Chains A and B, each alone.
Chain A
Amino acid sequence: MKEKERQRKNRDIPEALKAKLRDSGVREEILCRTEVDMDTAGEYADGYLLLTKDRLIVALLPPDNRRTRSFRGFGEQEPADGAWVLRMFDAGQVESVWVEDCIGCNLIVGRVGGMEMPLAGCSNFRKRRVVDFVRAMESWTKDGTVKPMTEPEEEYCPKCGRMYPDPRRKVCPHCENKTSIFLRILKYFKPYWPLALVMMLCIVATGALNLVWPYLNGAVLYDRILAKDPAFLRQIGLGEGKFALALLLLVLTMFLTKLTLLLAQVLQGVCSSRMVVQVVRDMKKDIFSMMGKLSIGFYRSRQTGGLMTRVLSDADRVSGFFVDQAPYVLVHLFTITFTVIVMWSLNWQMTVMTVVLLPLLVAVSLILQPRVWVMFGKRHRAERSLNSCVSDNLTGARVVKAFGQESRESKRFAAYSDRLERGEVSISYWQNYFQLFYGGAQELATCAVWALGVYFIFGGGNMDLGLLITFAGYVSQLQGPMRFLANISHRMADSLNSAQRMFEIMDAVPEVQEAEKPVHLDRIRGELRLEHVTFGYEVNRAVLKNVSLTIPAGQMIGLVGRSGAGKSTLVNLISRLYDPQEGRILLDGVDIRDLAFSDLRRSVALVSQETYIFSGTVMQNIAYSNPGASLWEIVEAAKLAGAHEFIMRMPDGYDTMIGASGKGLSGGEKQRLSIARAILADPKILILDEATASVDTETERMIQKSLQYLVKGRTTISIAHRLSTLRDADYLYVIDHGVIAEQGTHEHLKEQQGIFYKLLELQTRALAMRGVD
């Protein structure tokens, strides 16, 4: 609460500005405001845009290059204060204000008294709020009212001040996650607890037996048996002088110890590999099903390919850590503690010696290892660019050959592989370097122990040769766990980061969500209405602006317009791949946001120029939209789509394997399959997005014919560049730069002599010219 108050206070305008406003005669209440961070000469400068009922005020401080600019990620800023310069514009004069996107910055421009002028600038960091402000003041220029600005999203963790990676999810990676991530990962292991238990037992057994081994081959072998200690024989219950038998027993014990060790390790390996495979599978399953639920917008903002591989390899890394590293933390701690205790009981002076020297090893690891990690990262990046060079070349082989650029491509490849080579070399260089230091420190520790031990033996203290050997064994055994623990923090951070990325996807909130209590429509008539729909993929760039239209049930409308005019965006909104930012879309009078996903998806089908053929049989591909369809229904649909003939020309008919793993299909054939799919889906609303753009004229005519069957009795929205495609449309809309520029029937539009007429003329003329040829 206190934090909130502090923030609010921070957001208050600074004292000197208040005074300046008072002095300049601004007495009215400030209705809304926003911060800007650049002036109109391309310099960083602090400032505000303020709006009162009578005027727009631009308050700027002179540019100050000494002030640190903090952008997103560095918390709320202390507002700057100083010698404010005000520019005031009376409400009557300001005609409009807008934000112009520049390169790396934005310009806020106003039209005041017929003159366009820059008011202030802002970085992309401030852009969202500034755009909000400008939108809020749209009505102000007309009637003096101000729309409330949206509250800014809480972006920083209130506990530690770090930025949320996703402000809508509000999970701070630093504060909440470490333990919760840990527990969440453990959940994946829960179903396999018997395996985990066996694994733990094996690990503990290994640790314990490792402790016994040096004692057997050192103290027992040398000091008891070789030194012929009679007390020892009595102790283990053997007769006087039977040292040979004792030796045999010892060897047998040693053999059994090693054998058990081996067995435990094998068993552990089997358990861990079984567990890892299953856990990774479970994680990937979860990720994949989540990816299906995410909205298209999520994929737009990320690179899908990279995302996929990264996430999948993340799953490997996470579970790998939990199986191959995490359990050993306990074991190694246990080993270290007990080894030191045992050593202490054998000889405390030498133990002190060892314990003093071992931290040296840890230090070497801590200092040198991170460098090696950076090198690994570098090599990974080099590898990636090499791979993408190869894949560029493979996919573009035709172009490369056609332009005769093989040798240049080889050179490009050579440059990348040189980089990779340098990466490899520097890694092995550093690794050897590391080995040198680490090995050196290790040898130093061992030598010191030997020297001290021998010194004790010379001095006739309580030290025997065997004990010394045992001791040396313990020392070398300590080094592994020490080194492991020195590295564990890095590995753990690495794995938790992977886990975080994974959970980020699993927890991502889909932008398009089903309503909590969705409305179910049993019978959909198919009447569509768009009311004042505004939408843009990015801030400040609306693709559709205040579009309203009504499509009566069963009618076919055509959408015409230049590419990029917003036609496809409109149908994306209807199929709810995105939600409009303003306005709403009604299906039979119900907002599609309230409609159950299943009902909506069932009633809308899309045939676009992007055909999706997955690997499977022709039949499976057609039945994709309706898996329960009977074989005859599939054939019927294919017949109507004009696909039956070419399907029957293939050797295995409807059972022919197609897609990635099978026979290739031509563009027109794929198109006809997707039409068959749409026919089988039997939707109430059919969207044809350039369905015939990629096929030749004859095929188009065929497809047109089958489309005529398809559109009967359905609400159809058809997008086409070829206006001949839209002959059958009941009504046409011409979309230009996101607004409906013209509408009407074919004849009506022709008479209007507008954009449609122009396009039509161009196309007939183009056709006529072809005729001449």
Chain B
Amino acid sequence: MMAKKQQEDFSLEQMEQESEEVLRPRFLTKDNAVFQRTGGGFLSLETEGESYSRILAARMFPFQEKEKYLSIRTTDEHSKEIGIIKDMADFDEETGQMLREQLDLRYFTPVITKILSIRDEFGHSYWEVMTDHGPCRFTVRMGGNSIVHLSDVRILVMDIDENRFEIPDLEKLTARERKKLDLFI
């Protein structure tokens, strides 16, 4: 009887501890975390006695900070946060490069450098643009939330499959290109 009671207490303690862990941020720095490239091309992490064979890096503010405030997470289905990197610059250049690679793998948004044509027909608009990843042609649904204004001059375009394209600065486009965008902004 006594033993059982103790066991209960113990697991309750453990639960309390778990929830505290979720609530308290843990920072990863070059002093407590070692990232390494795996044979498969992902990253592994050793930190404070814990070891993860593969981690996932996610940006907390993907539209504002590309290399600050990263959430390092487990890759299983119920992905949990392992720790937070406040600034990638805190790590050495090699680790930074490895993290950058992982981020590039997960975040993919070609930047539109030139608008060749936008044709609007039957509720869809058909875009032909030049991006930093080469020429692209995609279709945008009209009248929905396909065009997201990230700021006054920066917009994110989602095509009908939710592929993303970004225009970082409307003012850098020519007047003629902006006119093509007139329907959307």
Contact = CB atoms under 8 A, between A and B. Distances in A.
* Residue of B75, B139, B183 with most partner-chain A CB within 10 A: B139
B183 A501 contact: no
Interface string A20-47: 0000000000000000001011111000
Given A104-B107, A117-B40, A765-B12, A69 B161 contact: no
B106 A107 contact: yes
Contacts of B144: 303
Contacts of A310: 143
A414 to B, nearest CB: 15
B133 interface: yes
Interface stretch (A4-12, A60-68, A133-141, A481-489): A60-68
Contacts of B124: 73, 163, 165
Interface in B78-118: 78, 101, 104-109
A370 to B, nearest CB: 11
A73 B136 CA distance: 12
A768 to B, nearest CB: 11
A43 B104 CA distance: 9
A662 interface: no
A127 B162 CA distance: 11
A2 to B, nearest CB: 25
A743 interface: no
Contact of B106 (A103, A306, A377, A497): A103
A74 interface: yes
The list of the 8 closest CB pairs from A to B, nearest first, reads A73-B139, A117-B40, A65-B134, A105-B108, A124-B161, A104-B164, A173-B122, A42-B104
Contact of B42 (A65, A116, A374): A116
B89 to A, nearest CB: 22
B106 A71 contact: no
B108 A68 contact: no
Contacts of B11: 753, 758, 761
A162 B122 CA distance: 10
Interface in A159-178: 162-163, 165, 173-174
A500 B122 CA distance: 8
A125 B161 contact: yes
B56 to A, nearest CB: 9
A324 to B, nearest CB: 23
Contacts of A377: 183
B135 interface: yes
A234 interface: no
A558 to B, nearest CB: 22
A71 B137 contact: yes
B51 interface: no
Given A42-B105, A64-B134, A71-B138, A125 B163 contact: yes
A70 interface: yes
Interface of A: 38, 40-44, 64-74, 100, 102-105, 107, 112, 115-118, 121, 123-125, 127, 162-163, 165, 173-174, 303, 306, 310, 374, 377-378, 497, 500-501, 737, 753, 758, 761-762, 765
A103 B106 CA distance: 6
B54 A116 contact: yes
B73 to A, nearest CB: 12
Interface residues of B, number: 45
B40 A118 contact: yes
B168 to A, nearest CB: 15
A165 B38 CA distance: 44
Given A124-B161, A124-B163, A761-B11, A116 B40 contact: yes
B40 A115 contact: yes
B27 interface: no
B162 A124 contact: yes
A372 to B, nearest CB: 12
22 contacts: A41-B105, A44-B134, A64-B134, A66-B135, A68-B134, A71-B138, A102-B106, A103-B109, A104-B162, A104-B164, A105-B108, A107-B106, A116-B38, A116-B53, A124-B161, A125-B159, A125-B163, A173-B121, A306-B143, A497-B122, A501-B123, A761-B8
A117 B42 contact: yes
Given A68-B137, A69-B137, A378 B106 contact: no
Interface string B113-156: 00000000111101000000111111100011100000000000
B41 A117 contact: yes
Interface of B: 8, 11-12, 15, 38-42, 53-54, 62, 75, 77-78, 101, 104-109, 121-124, 126, 133-139, 143-145, 159-164, 182-183
Given A104-B164, A118-B40, A374-B182, A73 B133 contact: no
A173 B120 CA distance: 13
A497 B123 contact: yes
Nearest to A42: B104
Contacts of A123: 108, 161, 163
Contact of B105 (A72, A102, A762): A102
Nearest to A71: B138
Given A104-B164, A117-B40, A758-B15, 13 more contacts: A40-B105, A42-B104, A71-B139, A71-B161, A72-B139, A73-B138, A74-B137, A102-B107, A103-B108, A104-B107, A105-B163, A127-B161, A737-B78
A771 B41 CA distance: 54
A765 B19 CA distance: 14
A762 B42 CA distance: 38
Contacts of A100: 75
Given A102-B107, A124-B162, A68 B136 contact: yes
B12 A761 contact: yes
A42 B144 CA distance: 28
Given A42-B105, A71-B163, A163 B139 contact: yes
A753 B164 CA distance: 46
A165 B123 contact: yes
A204 to B, nearest CB: 34
A303 B108 CA distance: 27
A42 B108 contact: yes
Contact of B107 (A103, A173, A174): A103
Contacts of A117: 38-42
Contacts of B121: 162, 173-174
Contacts of A501: 123
B77 A737 contact: yes
B45 to A, nearest CB: 14
Contacts of B160: 72-73
A100 B77 CA distance: 10
Contacts of B183: 374, 377
* Residue of B108, B109, B162 with most partner-chain A CB within 10 A: B108
Nearest to B144: A303
Contacts of B139: 71-74, 163
Contacts of A73: 124, 126, 137-139, 159-160
A103 B134 CA distance: 19
B40 A102 contact: no
Given A374-B182, A378-B182, A174 B122 contact: yes
A72 B161 contact: yes
A545 B86 CA distance: 37
A645 B44 CA distance: 64
Contact of B104 (A41, A44, A116, A753): A41
A127 B139 CA distance: 16
